[in-house]
């Protein structure tokens, strides 16, 4: 007799019958607790795969391979280009007098710049590698149907794998290494071995890289005199001591990024932006962010605004009543400052006089090379990695930045340190770069989803303290600095602030990268910048038009910024007292405080 059990009832029995589970020993992970099981799997994967989502890479590869497999014309062109270029290189090898290269490396690629690479057989090695680089670059780009994001991911990962086999990485195919080996009779390999073992020891014991011990916070970096006048669970607020008889009435508040220590703005005395402003008569305050741990996992963006920016403004108001503040935001600190400013713009009391932004984005649609690591799969994967500890480790973020410039930041350093046996001397900004910080689980998740993925800030969907904010409400003058070779916040992306804010905007484009372009003190050699002002409510001009028409100036942009600040800082007054006990403001400790030392 056939089984007449209804189909739905059978399914119910199939799932829940105790004997079924006992026989097959299948745990019930279909409930809410199963989500934790999935997260645990991702945490285990990260120990072998790193911080890159294997699913994200697999999706991108499948998208590219599928479309390439049904594009015979693209494959035919690739093959034709390969044989044509290989034939030119082979012809050049047969005729040694033909020294004109048929394939040139990128301007930013310094691996084959030495004249030694123009001699055979090394020119063949270099040109063959560059040929392969061109072929793979063409193969991973321009395949019709592949999403723009997937195309960039595949191209990036291909470049990472190709960089491993560069002839510059191996002693027998690198003429510079062979020359040094001959000059030093092989001593370079012994010195390189010692450097390698020292680095392995430091890595195993979680010590900073060699050379960073020369730069000690509070001793020769971050030494501008000041006092910590306020502290909460997220920030220490530093007020710097005046060095002039009078100061400008309106103070300066720095909001640095919390993905790095604040002292990028107060490095050595010769390149400290804080010292430069103090010596020009400005009262300067600095937010020093706490390096969050597992107990801070639930700190969100609202907390960074309320406990950070708003708390700092409250203290400044108590110290210097009835005055507005010149606020300065760096990188993600600038993004946070703009969001807070849009929220404050709806309040009856106006607290900001001006806003200065350093390499800060508000529109994340074209967010630079970091967007390679941002999609739904990658963000979910990162969230699960952070879920275990409650934060994202700073070394993982540093690894992402290094991969973006692997030929310069990874392989070039390995060649110099291990094969040539020569340590590259560290300077202050490099030592600071290795002083990494952590990112709390909730904040980083909100940052990636609301800003990078959903781009809410420029769409009027971003909320601050539960209220949607509009950038169009910001009316205070702005001074916006971008850098020409910034791969974190590309200048054309930073320039988009002209589209969303009606304020007067002084826009600066300086040479250098994300950090070096900002730490660009007067007297720094080979510095130049472009600057042009758009009046409040002025018409928008394109980036190409701006780049073509903006005047170019030699030297540092700092004096131009300081003059602009002085213009909006009102008259000179007697320096305000650092400690005002009657208002509850006490000196807690000397600068640079304690949060900056947290590891």
Q: Yes or no: say if 123 and 95 are a contact pair by the CB < 8 Å rule.
A: no
Point out which residues pair with 400 in neighbouring strands: none
pLDDT of 288 strictly over 50: yes
Helices 122-140 & 72-94, crossing angle to 10 degrees?
170
Mean model confidence pLDDT for the chain = 86
Q: Using 50, 70 and 90 to split pLDDT, how confident is the model at 291?
A: very high
- The rounded Cα 345 to chain-centroid distance in angstroms is 28
Is the model's pLDDT at 31 over the cut of 60? no
Rg (CA), the chain: 28
pLDDT over 70 at 229, yes or no: yes
**23 pLDDT exceeds 70?**
no
- Rounded CA gap, 92 and 101, in Å? 8
The pLDDT-based confidence of 405 (bands split at 50, 70, 90) is low
* 109-124 pLDDT per residue, tens: 678 888 898 888 888 8
pTM of the model: 0.86
Domain boundaries, the chain: 57-182, 226-368+471-597
Decide if pLDDT at 173 tops 80.
Answer: yes
Does the annotation mark 501 as catalytic?
no
pLDDT band at 500 (very low <50, low <70, confident <90, very high): very high
* Structure confidence at residue 3 (pLDDT): 45
- Show Cβ contacts of residue 100 under 8 Å, excluding neighbours closer than 6 positions: 92
Query: How crowded is the C-beta side of 194, counted as CA atoms within 13 Å?
Result: 8
pLDDT over threshold 90, residue 13: no
Region 243-263: mean pLDDT is 95
**What is the pLDDT at residue 546?**
96
Q: Which of 73-82, 337-346, 445-454, 462-471 has the lowest mean pLDDT?
A: 73-82
Report the pLDDT averaged over residues 242-264: 95
Helical spans, DSSP H, in 70-186 = 72-94, 122-140, 148-164, 175-184
Fold of 226-368+471-597: Rossmann fold (3.40.50)
**526-569, pLDDT tens digit by residue?**
999 999 999 998 999 999 999 999 999 999 999 999 999 999 99
Starting at the edge strand that comes first in sequence, how are the strands of the sheet with 528-534 ordered? 552-554, 528-534, 505-510, 478-483, 352-358, 325-330, 252-255, 284-289, 235-240, 226-231, 589-590
**Cis bond upstream, residue 592 (ω within 30):** yes
Predicted local distance difference test score (pLDDT) of residue 483: 96
């Amino acid at each position: 007799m056939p089984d007449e059990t209804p189909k739905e009832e059978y399914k119910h029995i199939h799932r829940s019958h105790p004997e079924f589970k006992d026989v097959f020993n299948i745990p019930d992970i279909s409930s809410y607790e199963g989500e934790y099981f999935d997260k645990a799997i991702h945490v285990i994967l990260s120990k072998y795969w790193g911080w890159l989502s294997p699913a994200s890479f697999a999706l991108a590869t499948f998208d590219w391979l599928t479309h390439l497999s049904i594009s015979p014309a693209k494959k035919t062109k690739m093959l034709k280009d390969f044989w044509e270029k290989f034939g030119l290189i082979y012809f050049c090898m047969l005729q040694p007098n033909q020294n004109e290269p048929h394939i040139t490396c990128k301007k930013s690629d310094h691996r084959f710049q030495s004249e030694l690479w123009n001699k055979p057989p090394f020119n063949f090695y270099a040109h063959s590698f560059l040929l392969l680089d061109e072929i793979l670059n063409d193969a991973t780009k321009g395949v019709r149907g592949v999403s723009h994001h997937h195309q960039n991911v595949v191209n990036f990962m291909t470049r990472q794998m190709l960089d491993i086999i560069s002839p510059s990485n191996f002693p027998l195919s690198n003429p510079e290494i062979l020359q040094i080996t001959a000059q030093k009779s092989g001593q370079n390999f012994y010195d390189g071995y010692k450097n390698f073992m020292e680095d392995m020891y430091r890595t195993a014991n979680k010590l900073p890289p060699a050379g960073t011990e020369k730069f000690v916070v509070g001793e020769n970096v971050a030494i501008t005199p000041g006092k910590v006048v306020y502290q909460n669970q997220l920030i220490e607020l530093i007020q710097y001591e005046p060095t002039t008889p009078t100061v400008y009435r309106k103070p300066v508040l720095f909001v640095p990024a919390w993905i790095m220590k604040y002292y990028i703005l107060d490095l050595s005395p010769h390149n400290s932006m804080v010292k430069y402003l103090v010596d020009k008569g400005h009262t300067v305050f600095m937010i020093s962010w706490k390096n969050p741990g597992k107990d801070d996992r639930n700190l969100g963006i609202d907390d960074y605004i309320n406990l950070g920016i708003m708390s700092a403004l409250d203290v400044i108001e108590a110290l210097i009543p009835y005055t507005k503040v010149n606020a300065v935001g760096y990188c993600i600190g600038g993004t946070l400052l703009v969001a807070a400013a849009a929220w404050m713009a709806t309040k009856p009391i106006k607290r900001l006089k001006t806003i200065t932004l350093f390499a800060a984005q508000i529109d994340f649609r074209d967010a630079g090379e970091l967007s390679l690591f941002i999609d739904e799969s990658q963000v979910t994967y990162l969230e699960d990695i952070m879920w275990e500890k409650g934060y994202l480790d700073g070394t993982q973020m540093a690894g992402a930045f290094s991969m973006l410039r692997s030929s310069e930041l990874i392989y070039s350093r390995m060649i110099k340190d291990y094969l040539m046996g020569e340590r590259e001397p560290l300077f202050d900004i490099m030592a600071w770069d290795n002083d990494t910080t952590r990112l709390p689980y909730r904040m980083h998740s909100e940052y990636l989803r609301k800003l990078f993925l959903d781009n809410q800030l420029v769409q009027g969907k971003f909320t601050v303290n539960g209220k949607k904010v509009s950038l169009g409400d910001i009316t205070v003058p702005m001074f916006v600095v971008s850098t020409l070779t910034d791969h974190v916040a590309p200048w054309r992306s930073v320039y988009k602030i002209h589209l969303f804010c009606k304020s007067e905007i002084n826009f600066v484009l300086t040479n250098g990268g994300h950090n070096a372009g900002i730490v660009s003190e007067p007297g720094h050699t080979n510095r130049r910048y472009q600057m042009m002002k758009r009046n409040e409510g002025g018409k928008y001009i394109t980036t190409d038009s701006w780049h073509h028409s903006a005047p170019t100036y030699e030297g540092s942009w700092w004096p131009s910024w300081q003059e602009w600040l002085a213009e909006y800082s009102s008259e000179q007054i007697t320096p305000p007292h650092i400690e005002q006990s009657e208002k509850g403001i006490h000196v807690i400790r000397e600068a640079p405080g304690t949060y900056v030392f947290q590891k």
